[in-house]
Structure 1
Amino acid sequence: MHKNSLFTMNDLSVEEIYKVLEDGQRFADEPGLEFPKAHLVANLFFEPSTRTHYSFASAQQQLGCRVEDFSASGSSVQKGESLYDTIKTFEAIGYEAVVIRHTQEEYFKELENINIPILNGGDGKKNHPTQCLLDLLTIYQEFGKFEGLRVVIVGDIAHSRVAHSNRDAMVRLGCDVRFSGPADWVDDQSIFMDIDEAVKWADVVMLLRIQHERHEQSMKLSKEAYLQKYGLTYARVEAMKEHAIIMHPAPVNRGVEIESDLVEHPKSRIFKQMTNGVHVRKALMKRAFGYAFTDMVKR
């Protein structure tokens, strides 16, 4: 396995997390930096994606990479080819790094003999390290620290790779992280908090969409009832601390987990997260290829 692959947040020490955030911020502050050569990279998304897929593509293209977007429907996957053989093929024909999103949890355990960097764009309900890092950058830009911050993650916790990646990393960085939402969707009751209590307590309120595609049964509540019982309403925003912020990994189901107009409320950092996704993914591509900023060239 390539040493600069990234599969889970546990692949990064606390020091390495701060390094990725520092690099991401530098890319934000210094637009137009490119790699000294045009690396050939492939994005293999076996599950629908807008933000992760296209922010990776944007980051790669801005860095001067040659980018290929893989389509499983037009490939030998339809003929029964294994994920390992698919990725080994990309390595064999000259691709220098791949980004993979897959419905299978921990798919990367099958790829131990791949010798090019692999970046995990999300696996099942387990891990989403690049989303976690862009969330961390957004929080750090806002508060300049993690130690002592109170974060509540609200919604479909049990089915969310974002919730699990974020909580593990945030706790390591010194945050106090709680979960809220429907109690039977929270897999750790010891840190459960009622939504009305949580919005008053938190410095960061992070909403999650309902992962309908991972539920065995359809939701019993109407969208309107879910919003009133568990979502971020105008009344709950009024109860938030003056400095507190609203986050969401998106896609946002407006009027379900959050009132539609609150997506662009002054407290909201939802579109800022998307912008930071490009900066963080630039930092991770830089890490994948082992560059220093002194190696970069200005476009």
Structure 2
Amino acid sequence: MAMVWTRRHILSLADFTRGEYDAVLQTAGSFREVLGRRTKKVPALQGQVVANLFFEPSTRTRNSFELAAKRLSADTLNFTPGSSSLTKGETILDTAKTYLAMGTDMMVIRHEQAGVPMAIAQEMDRLGSKVSVLNAGDGQHEHPSQGLLDLFTICSLLDPEHPRLEILAGKKIAIVGDILHSRVARSNIWSLTATGAEVHLAGPPTLLPLLFAECGNGREGNLFLHWQVEPALQDADFVMALRLQKERMGQYLLPSLREYHQLFGITRDRLKLCKPNVKVLHPGPVNRGVEISSDLMDDAEFSLISQQVTSGVAVRMALLYLMGGGKLN
């Protein structure tokens, strides 16, 4: 029996069910096929309005959400803080209510402070509206669509025709870098441990506190913490490097970028510890020569970074489609 999608807001992956993960993977697979056609547009959300409210800079996420909405034939509204009434003292909730009054059906929210998408979702619920809210990244909290597109990228590599959660069971996935400040890491921890995979986090002690061990409690897969990169990489099937988020860091968390690269940077030599067919991911933007060597980033034999960007459109089409009332096959 086909699953019925009932989740109105997508704010976190912490409570996503296996059925919901597989529904997103299945739907994204269908839209990937659509994106490969000469005519890449479908009328699934015709007449609906998607507002992209990005209070923080973005290239990949913002543009892929806009493209995803347009591929589904939705009308889009794009918000830019610097040219908005925020500069005149308007509150974030009043800005959201302005878009509600314009007839918005879905709001895609990014903000530097954790909890803003949830606050807007709660306000929409309080007002009795049917608006759906999707968290496109909030502070150090989560980035659900990035976690889902990373999951889709990996599962599609293993089974292009039928990407699904169960095929990652038992795989070893290393996540290396600035775990502390990374909303991407948090969403990936939830999604990847739901598959039954072994997830190994690696980073300097200042960027990987012990509290992350609690994220593995009660999950299908196991979660491990390492303050040296070599144990995390040993026999890994996939390696995800994370950006050092210098804009969120206080002082003295790292001696230098050069020393970080020497100790934790992903290079060809370090990949020799992994499985022979290992693949490398990075959510972007990349600090070349810091988190990952520049030559490795551009090597199609190892790098899935371009595929992640491509997957982002299909996955975000799937999320908008499901939230907009689309039916599962």
Same structural fold, with TM-score higher than 0.5 when normalized by the shorter chain: yes
The answer for the alignment partner of 1:251 in structure 2 is 285
Identity %: 38
| Secondary structure in structure 2 of the residue aligned to 1:122 | strand
Q: Work out whether 1:34 is the aligned partner of 2:56.
A: no
| Secondary structure in structure 1 of the residue aligned to 2:250 | coil
Q: Work out whether 1:209 is the aligned partner of 2:243.
A: yes
The answer for the alignment partner of 2:13 in structure 1 is 9
Q: After the TM superposition, which residues 106-121 of structure 1 pair with which residues of structure 2 at under 5 Å, given as runs?
A: 106-111=115-120, 112-114=122-124, 115=129, 116-121=131-136
User: In structure 2, which of residues 165, 178, 197 is the aligned counterpart of residue 175 of structure 1?
Assistant: 197
Q: Does the CA-based 8 Å contact 1:47-1:101 persist in structure 2?
A: yes
Which one-letter code corresponds to 1:34 in the other structure? V
- Superposed CA deviations along residues 117-174 of structure 1, whole A, max 9, x for unmatched, are 1111000001100000000001111224121111111000001001111112211221
Q: Work out whether 1:185 is the aligned partner of 2:193.
A: no
Q: Does the CA-based 8 Å contact 2:193-2:199 persist in structure 1?
A: yes
Task: Please give the alpha-carbon distance, in whole angstroms, between the structure 2 residues aligned to 1:146 and 1:288.
Answer: 26
Structure 1 segments unaligned to the other structure (5+ residues): 295-299
Q: After the TM superposition, which residues 262-273 of structure 1 pair with which residues of structure 2 at under 5 Å, given as runs?
A: 262-265=296-299, 266-273=301-308
Q: After the TM superposition, which residues 80-95 of structure 1 pair with which residues of structure 2 at under 5 Å, given as runs?
A: 80-95=89-104
Q: After the TM superposition, which residues 91-240 of structure 1 pair with which residues of structure 2 at under 5 Å, given as runs?
A: 91-111=100-120, 112-114=122-124, 115=129, 116-144=131-159, 145-188=167-210, 191-193=224-226, 194-217=228-251, 220-240=254-274
Shift in Å, 1:218? 5.6
Task: Please give the alpha-carbon distance, in whole angstroms, between the structure 2 residues aligned to 1:183 and 1:102.
Answer: 27
Q: Does the CA-based 8 Å contact 1:3-1:117 persist in structure 2?
A: no
Higher mean C-alpha displacement, 81-90 vs 265-274 = 81-90
Q: Work out whether 1:58 is the aligned partner of 2:67.
A: yes
Task: Please give the alpha-carbon distance, in whole angstroms, between the structure 1 residues aligned to 2:234 and 2:277.
Answer: 11
Which one-letter code corresponds to 2:49 in the other structure? L
**How big is the alpha-carbon RMSD for the aligned residues of Structure 1 and Structure 2?**
1.8
Q: Work out whether 1:281 is the aligned partner of 2:303.
A: no
Shift in Å, 1:282? 0.2
Q: Work out whether 1:45 is the aligned partner of 2:39.
A: no
- How many residues are matched? 293
Higher mean C-alpha displacement, 170-179 vs 280-289 = 170-179
Q: Does the CA-based 8 Å contact 1:121-1:130 persist in structure 2?
A: yes
Task: Please give the alpha-carbon distance, in whole angstroms, between the structure 1 residues aligned to 2:250 and 2:11.
Answer: 27
Task: Please give the alpha-carbon distance, in whole angstroms, between the structure 1 residues aligned to 2:118 and 2:85.
Answer: 21
Q: Structure 2 length normalisation: TM-score? A: 0.84
Which one-letter code corresponds to 1:274 in the other structure? V
Task: Please give the alpha-carbon distance, in whole angstroms, between the structure 1 residues aligned to 2:328 and 2:140.
Answer: 34
| Secondary structure in structure 1 of the residue aligned to 2:247 | helix
| Secondary structure in structure 1 of the residue aligned to 2:277 | coil
Higher mean C-alpha displacement, 191-200 vs 59-68 = 191-200
Q: After the TM superposition, which residues 14-29 of structure 1 pair with which residues of structure 2 at under 5 Å, given as runs?
A: 14-29=18-33
Structure 2 segments unaligned to the other structure (5+ residues): 1-5, 160-166, 214-223
The answer for the alignment partner of 1:297 in structure 2 is none
Which one-letter code corresponds to 2:311 in the other structure? N
Q: Does the CA-based 8 Å contact 1:208-1:257 persist in structure 2?
A: yes
Shift in Å, 1:80? 2.5
Task: Please give the alpha-carbon distance, in whole angstroms, between the structure 2 residues aligned to 1:113 and 1:220.
Answer: 40
Q: Does the CA-based 8 Å contact 2:146-2:184 persist in structure 1?
A: yes
Shift in Å, 1:219? 5.4
